[in-house]
Amino acid sequence: MYKRAQWQWLAAIVLLTMACKKENNNVTKLNYEDGVSTVIYDLAGDTEASVADGVEGKEKRPFRSFYFKLSTKLQSWDSSNTFKQSNNWDLAFTDIYNALVYVNNGSGEGPGKGGAGKGLIIAVDSAYSKVTIAPEEDAFETGNLRFAGWDGYPQPYNTGWYFYSLNTHLAVPIQNRTFIIRTADGKYGKLELINVYQGNPPTVTDLFWPAPYFTFRYFVQQDGSHNLKTP
């Protein structure tokens, strides 16, 4: 009797160990390359600024904005009015963690104010590849967000691309939210802001994970049409 019980247990333990076998724990790295879109990995923002009071050894100052030209993939730190009012940039990464992203628009409030930029931005809650067409002029103008930053902040209607988790105190990008934009020159495109943390981790597990390093992808329709189809 004992023996039998023992064998049963041995078998049970082996079975259980098998049931508890290691799951595939590799972090799946998504492929953002679709052949036509441009993907930017780990574009460094102002990594030396601090917002903290009384933190020794760290420069306490506002984050310096940087500017990005979509067609040339050029990053510029030139914050002169001449530059800001030019069409040499399409996106301005401003404010805390450079995560408040403006389009270059000369007529509204924003870094491009007073310039010739025709930039517009609206949000679509859909996967990047499923956004295939830019809306007509009127709809675009009415829905214009001017910038995309912290979702629902400062007002609930401020649609953004990430939010701060009050639980982990980390920035969490919002999945499957795509922005339709108009560049400074008036061309239509789409933009997905993917991450602010280095290496684009699926989930951030370290309070001191290096930031801001931007991962984003975009497609600009060069023929001037509203067609935004990508594979």
Partner 1 sequence: MRTSKDLYTLFILCCSSLCAFSQSDTSRTLKSVEVKAVHLETLTSRAAMPVTVISRKTLEMMGSRRLDEVMREQTGIAIVNDVSAGSRAIGMQLQGFSADYILILIDGQPMIGRNAGNFDLSRITVSDIERIEIVKGASSSLFGSEALGGVVNIITRQHIDAAQGQAIVRYGSQHTQDFTLEGETPFGGGTNKSGNGSLNLSGNFYHTDGFNVNSFLSKGATAPPYDSYSLQGRLRYKLNANNSLNIAGRWALRNSINESVYSSSQVTNTTRDVLHESDVNGAIVWQVNLNKGRNANPDKGWQANLNKDRNATPDKDWQANLNKDRKTNLNNGWNANLTNTWQLKTQYYLTRYSTTQDVSTGKSAQLSSNDFTQYYHRFEEQVQYVVSNQLSFTGGIGGNLEVMDGNDLKSEYAYAQGDWKVNNRLSSRLGFRYDHSDFYGGRLNPSAGLKYSLSEKISLTAAFGTGYKTPDFQKRYQVFTNPQAGYTVLGVEEVAIQLAAMQAAGLISEVRPVAKDISAALKPEMAVSYNVGMSYTPVQKIRIDVNGFYNQLHNFINTVQIATRTNFQPVYSYINLDRSFTGGVEAGVSTHVLKGLDISFGYQLLYAKDRGIMDSIRTGAYPYNKIRNNNTGETRASKVSDYIGLENRSRHMLNLRVFYEYAPWGISATFRANYKSRSGYDDANNNRFLDTYDTFIDAYCLVYASIEKKLCKGHLAVQITADNLMNYTDMLMPGQPGRILMAGLKWRLFKQ
Chain residues 73-92 in contact with partner 1, contact rule CB under 8 A:
none
46 vs 171: CA distance, rounded Å: 16
- List binders of partner 1 among 51-70 (CB under 8 A): 51-59, 62
| CA pair distance 146, 111, nearest whole angstrom | 10
- Among 172, 185, 226, 230, indicate the residue that binds partner 1 (CB under 8 A): 172
Distance from C-alpha of 75 to C-alpha of 44, rounded to nearest angstrom: 10
In the complex, least distance from residue 150 CB atom to partner 1, rounded to whole angstroms:
7
Quote the least distance from Cβ 121 to partner 1, whole Å.
Answer: 17
- Under 8 Å CB-to-CB from 18, ≥6 apart: which residues? none
Q: Where would I find the H helices in 20-126?
A: 81-84
The Cα 202–Cα 155 span in angstroms is 27
Q: Using the 8-state DSSP alphabet, how is residue 98 labeled?
A: G
116 binds partner 1 (CB under 8 A): no
Task: Tell me: does residue 44 bind partner 1 (CB under 8 A).
Answer: yes
Q: Binder to partner 1 among 80, 205, 223, 231 (CB under 8 A)?
A: 205
Among 171, 180, 181, 194, binds partner 1 (CB under 8 A): 171
- Between 43 and 116, name the residue whose CB sits nearer to partner 1: 43
Residues 132-151 that bind partner 1 (CB under 8 A): 149-151
Nearer to partner 1, 2 or 80 (CB): 2
Out of 72, 77, 141, 152, which residue is the one contacting partner 1 (CB under 8 A)? 152
199: its two tokens: 């290496």
- Does residue 21 bind partner 1 (CB under 8 A)? yes
Amino acid at 174: I
Q: Does 16 bind partner 1 (CB under 8 A)?
A: yes
Shortest CB 38 distance to partner 1, Å: 15
Choice between 83 and 209, CB closer to partner 1: 209
H or E stretch at 17: helix 2-19
Interface with partner 1 (CB under 8 A), residue from 39, 41, 64, 230: 41
Contact yes or no for 161/173 (Cβ under 8 A): yes
| Phi, psi values for residue 12, rounded to 5° | -60, -40
Q: How many residues bind to partner 1 according to rule CB under 8 A?
A: 77
Rounded alpha-carbon distances, angstroms, from residue 127 to 33, 34, 55, 171, 222: 14, 13, 40, 20, 22
